[in-house]
Chains A and B, each alone.
Chain A
Amino acid sequence: MEVIPLLKQLSQIDGISGYEEPIRQLLRQTWKPFVDEMHEDGLGSLIALKYGTQPTGPPESTETSRPRLMLAAHMDEIGLMVTGIEKGFLRIGRVGGTDRRALLGLEVVVHGQRDLPGIVATRPPHVLPKEERKKVVPWDKLFVDVGLPPEEVGRLITVGNLISIRREMVELKNRCVAGKALDNRACVSAITLALERLAGMHHASDVFAVATAQEETGLKGAITSAYGVEPDLAVALDVTFGKHPGIAEVEAFPLGDGPTIGIGPNFHPQLVTRLKEVADAHEIPYQMDPIPGRSGTDAWAIQVAREGVPTALLSIPLRYMHQPVETLAAQDVERAGRLLAAFIAGLEAGFLEKLAWDREEGGSERTHDT
């Protein structure tokens, strides 16, 4: 599968937190050839299962149980919601961490009785006091204009209707792409590429690929899907901050230098080590992302599901997160996909034992970099 067309397709489809239907439908089709089973859980996460190949067959049909590996990337995106209607203009609130600094002058789609094109607007600068022109427009002065008379707006739109960002993904230089919702469709793409690769590979574990719902509103889909999948180990994938002017060096990663591997309390040291070893062995470039506490990703929820899950985090550096021009390097997505597939194919049946803590703490067994 070509990565850029895949990213474009996944970026441009809608799927605001809690309303992931369009992206979920698309993923059902895209993943179908690569997996053995698919279902949705109560919150709408899409859970696909690819049986392990040693032995073959559904998990319940085999006598020796295979390790259960969960891959998680959230499929939901941030967006807006109609909170009021005034003179035919829509008052708006946000779903997830939508950045109001990047909304003005943006085209959107209002999901009313039918999809209506709209524009995020405020009063023109020409008529504002100088001081007000320097301030970011507050939510109560931002409106969506659908260009219809008030009566028609009242008939077609109600409070609570969702509003998606309309943005075609564009290709910049050096295989960089820019668009909306690349947080986190980039990682959904990486999982898709990994599943495609795995189709021709042997792997000991049952692979549960999960496109989680409602990450942007509080990791909700990861909480319920990790409970449902009951994994033995998990790799969550999300985006991390890409480097650009105005952002501190330690907070961000250059685009095109490979995905990042998270290190810190949220992640199991042996899993981190294994990911690094696999990347080194396959000559896949990567960067280390030290996260001293809450990672703010699905990994945070998965780690504490049921009795706890050894969890790792792969991230793709992305500039301008939560703005409609999220920018990343397509090769980092490909690399994340390759790394995932190689990691899964290389997992031996006995790997779970290596995750036991006493082994990690034993001096000679210690492989975790300091």
Chain B
Amino acid sequence: MILRELSEATGVSGNEREVRAVVLDAIQKHADEVRVDTMGNVLALKHGADDSDSPTAGHRHIRVMLSAHMDEVGLMVVGYDNDGFLKVRAVGGIDPRLLPGTLLQVGPDHIPGVIGTKPIHLLKEKEGQKVPQIENLVVDIGAKGKDEAQRLAPLGTYAHFVTQFRELGPTVSGKAFDDRAGCAVLVELLRGARFHFDLHAAFTVQEEVGLRGARVAAYAIEPDCAFALEGTIADDIPKDKDISPTTELGKGPAITVMDRSFVADRRLVRLLTDTAEELDIPYQIKQPGIGGTDAGAIHLAREGVPSVTVAVPCRYIHSPVALLSVDDFNNTVRLMRESLSRLTPHTLTRRQ
């Protein structure tokens, strides 16, 4: 699975180099044009096939954008204490609850580092109930003092989670499935047969710090419609009150109708759900109102772009180790491929 390589590469927002290298290698042979833009986005074009027998033939002029972001959440070095511990801040949304006890790598040389807290034995009453905030945590790389720490990890050095990709049977685990799962779906789509339209693939940067890469990618591509491919929250763990689980593992690709960043284009949602129903591909509608994706930037590009988000449900995103179902992944690739092959200009006509 290309997901293994993508997951194990590091790419905290603004520092996507390693992931970009994996992506470029993976798609080089399967795209007609590949370029890296000024932000660091990988933009690939795969021309449509001229297949006159196909019912969708002759629609090569539709410009379809598929995007997946390469970056992941992480930390950045912002200071030191005199004993050589690194002070850090979050890059993107990091849940401070999971930082104590974490293994990290710091900087381009992947210097190992750890985050620990005051031992349980020394906690005063109630002290153990509060989650230490990131401002009060330090990264320990074993440096002997401030000077050594500064030399090894200059200000602005990134730190990232380290997790080996594992196959657990019907599921796989690893880091940064948000959004290497989307990247892997996009690679699979590029690797397959040509569609009847020009496919513009964007592997974007800096999604986690505000959908930055997708904005310029969408401007450059000028698409007629766009699909953001994601790894999204699954919240199917047992809980007191069983409210909506956002998405559930094993129930198929999650289609977004609305989240905090955009309202999905209802025609594209319809295309996806009709295709799934027709072909008996399992799917789920993501609980509305939670999270945001590159579609939030893409749909506002130029004069507006009809957009939708399709995601592989992932448990524990933004943590050192996430988990997804291989069936969900394969069904996401299949749903995308089948839906795209049914996409025509008619799909995007507004019926009054």
Whether chain B is bound by chain A comes out as: yes
Q: Which residues of A contact B (CB under 8 A)?
A: 86-87, 89, 97, 99, 101-107, 116-117, 119, 121-127, 133-137, 141, 143, 145-149, 152, 167, 170-176, 178, 241, 243-248, 251, 256, 296, 319-327
Q: Which DSSP category, helix, strand, loop or mixed, fits chain B's interface?
A: loop
Q: Is the CB of A97 within 8 A of B114?
A: no
Residue of A135, A152, A320 most packed against chain B (CB within 10 A)? A320
Taking A124-B235, A124-B317 as contacts, is the C-beta distance between A327 and B323 under 8 angstroms? Answer: no
Q: Which residues of the partner chain B approach A133 to less than 8 Å between Cβ atoms? A: 95, 97, 131
B302 within 8 A of A: no
- Given B143, B166, B172, B233, which contacts A173 in the complex, CB threshold below 8 Å? B143
Taking A99-B119, A117-B168, A136-B128 as contacts, is the C-beta distance between A107 and B138 under 8 angstroms? Answer: no
B150 within 8 A of A: no
A183 (CB) vs chain B CBs: closest residue? B119
Q: How far is the CA of A42 from the CA of B152 in the complex (A)?
A: 50
Q: Is the CB of B101 within 8 A of A323?
A: yes
Q: Is the CB of A327 within 8 A of B102?
A: no
Q: How far is the CA of A164 from the CA of B83 in the complex (A)?
A: 32
Q: Is the CB of B170 within 8 A of A148?
A: yes
Q: Which residues of the partner chain A approach B290 to less than 8 Å between Cβ atoms? A: 126-127
A210: min CB distance to chain B, Å: 23
Q: Is the CB of A105 within 8 A of B233?
A: no
Q: Is the CB of B141 within 8 A of A172?
A: yes
Q: Is the CB of A89 within 8 A of B237?
A: yes
Q: Is the CB of B316 within 8 A of A119?
A: yes
- A170-B114, A241-B122, A324-B101 known; 5 new pairs, CB 8 Å cut-off, are A99-B120, A104-B319, A105-B98, A148-B170, A243-B83
Residue of B98, B101, B144, B315 most packed against chain A (CB within 10 A)? B101
A316: min CB distance to chain B, Å: 14
Residue of A172, A256, A326 most packed against chain B (CB within 10 A)? A172
B92 within 8 A of A: no
Q: Which residues of the partner chain A approach B319 to less than 8 Å between Cβ atoms? A: 104-105
Q: Which residues of B contact A (CB under 8 A)?
A: 81, 83, 85, 95, 97-98, 100-103, 111-122, 128-132, 136, 138, 140-144, 148, 152, 163, 166, 168-173, 233, 235-239, 246, 250, 290-291, 315-321, 323
Q: Is the CB of B97 within 8 A of A325?
A: no
A318 (CB) vs chain B CBs: closest residue? B119
Q: Is the CB of A178 within 8 A of B103?
A: yes
Q: Is the CB of B169 within 8 A of A148?
A: yes
Taking A125-B95, A173-B142, A251-B122 as contacts, is the C-beta distance between A105 and B237 under 8 angstroms? Answer: no
Q: Is the CB of A246 within 8 A of B170?
A: no
Q: Which residues of the partner chain A approach B121 to less than 8 Å between Cβ atoms? A: 97, 241, 296, 321-322
Q: How far is the CA of A136 from the CA of B118 in the complex (A)?
A: 14
Q: Is the CB of A102 within 8 A of B238?
A: no
A258: min CB distance to chain B, Å: 15
Q: How far is the CA of A106 from the CA of B113 in the complex (A)?
A: 16
Q: Is the CB of A174 within 8 A of B144?
A: yes
Q: Is the CB of B112 within 8 A of A246?
A: no
Q: Which residues of the partner chain A approach B323 to less than 8 Å between Cβ atoms? A: 119, 145, 147
Q: Which residues of the partner chain A approach B85 to less than 8 Å between Cβ atoms? A: 244-245
A152 (CB) vs chain B CBs: closest residue? B169
A330: min CB distance to chain B, Å: 10
B166 (CB) vs chain A CBs: closest residue? A117
- Given A127, A135, A323, which contacts B116 in the complex, CB threshold below 8 Å? A323
Taking A136-B128, A178-B140 as contacts, is the C-beta distance between A127 and B111 under 8 angstroms? Answer: no
Q: Is the CB of B114 within 8 A of A172?
A: yes
A172: min CB distance to chain B, Å: 3
B5: min CB distance to chain A, Å: 19
- Given A171, A241, A245, which contacts B112 in the complex, CB threshold below 8 Å? A171
Q: Is the CB of B233 within 8 A of A127?
A: yes
B236 (CB) vs chain A CBs: closest residue? A87
Q: How far is the CA of A143 from the CA of B238 in the complex (A)?
A: 9
Q: Is the CB of B233 within 8 A of A124?
A: yes
Closest 4 CB pairs of A and B: A320-B116, A102-B101, A172-B142, A176-B142
| 13 interchain pairs, CB-CB under 8 A | A99-B100, A102-B101, A104-B319, A105-B316, A105-B321, A106-B101, A123-B239, A124-B246, A127-B233, A241-B119, A244-B116, A245-B138, A323-B117
Q: Is the CB of A246 within 8 A of B168?
A: no
Q: Is the CB of A327 within 8 A of B140?
A: yes
Q: How far is the CA of A296 from the CA of B119 in the complex (A)?
A: 14
Q: Is the CB of B103 within 8 A of A323?
A: no
Residue of B98, B115, B116, B131 most packed against chain A (CB within 10 A)? B116
Taking A105-B102, A107-B321, A124-B316 as contacts, is the C-beta distance between A134 and B131 under 8 angstroms? Answer: yes
Q: Which residues of the partner chain B approach A323 to less than 8 Å between Cβ atoms? A: 100-101, 116-117, 119
- Given B95, B130, B163, B237, which contacts A145 in the complex, CB threshold below 8 Å? B237
Q: Is the CB of B114 within 8 A of A178?
A: yes
Q: Is the CB of A319 within 8 A of B143?
A: no
B325: min CB distance to chain A, Å: 8
Q: Which residues of the partner chain A approach B235 to less than 8 Å between Cβ atoms? A: 123-124, 127
Taking A149-B170, A173-B143 as contacts, is the C-beta distance between A137 and B114 under 8 angstroms? Answer: no
